[in-house]
Chains A and B, each alone.
Chain A
Amino acid sequence: NAGVTQTPKFRVLKTGQSMTLLCAQDMNHEYMYWYRQDPGMGLRLIHYSVGEGTTAKGEVPDGYNVSRLKKQNFLLGLESAAPSQTSVYFCASATQGASGGPYEQYFGPGTRLTVT
């Protein structure tokens, strides 16, 4: 049981390049999330998904796209990277509680992305 894994762990991009970050969870969780963490700003939600085939925008979605084709995977894409997207990206997943909302989130180890 690996929990939540993220690929890659580190990446350096040049401005304008594209890339995809992969998040995988083996806990059969319905909810999955992508956050970015910047100093002094805490965690900001980029996009999230409440189930396979569904996605929704979070607080800072611009410049990112996501897909959830399989329940266990949640992909985050940067079509044209910008220096402002230099950050640490965390993926998380959560199971659905009785009220329909998510229980606590389980986080992956993070991806450190630098855009030059």
Chain B
Amino acid sequence: AQSVSQHNHHVILSEAASLELGCNYSYGGTVNLFWYVQYPGQHLQLLLKYFSGDPLVKGIKGFEAEFIKSKFSFNLRKPSVQWSDTAEYFCAVNELNTGGFKTIFGAGTRLFVKA
């Protein structure tokens, strides 16, 4: 079974700081990769996704992520964070097994942005 590792459980930044959240996965086959965001009290929403093509993916609200196949990584970045980016961020990977495709989530990274 594969795993998805998010290296930082809690991150605290000041507004305008740059953000990079790490995500590594262990699945060796073809991967589909996602970043989701959960704002306080809300359900998860998609930030961006990678299926194929350009490994640098741009998502909503100025977020981007880079798929590096050799490193099994899909790190999330934003050049300048805002207070409204305070949320929990989840990396996820599609895995194919006998029951069909399923999606495995990382444990999440809580980001707090100080105004």
Contact = CB atoms under 8 A, between A and B. Distances in A.
A50 B99 contact: yes
B101 A107 contact: no
A102 B107 contact: no
A74 interface: no
A104 B46 CA distance: 7
Interface string B32-63: 10101000001111100101000000000000
B93 to A, nearest CB: 11
Contacts of A45: 102-105
A90 B43 CA distance: 8
Interface in B77-115: 90, 94, 96, 98-108
Query: How extensive is the interface on chain A, given as a class?
Result: 20 to 34
Contacts of B106: 42
Contact of A43 (B9, B46, B96, B105): B105
A77 to B, nearest CB: 19
A112 to B, nearest CB: 11
B94 A101 contact: yes
17 contacts: A33-B102, A33-B103, A42-B90, A42-B105, A42-B106, A42-B108, A43-B108, A45-B102, A54-B100, A56-B100, A58-B102, A101-B94, A104-B34, A105-B44, A107-B44, A107-B45, A110-B43
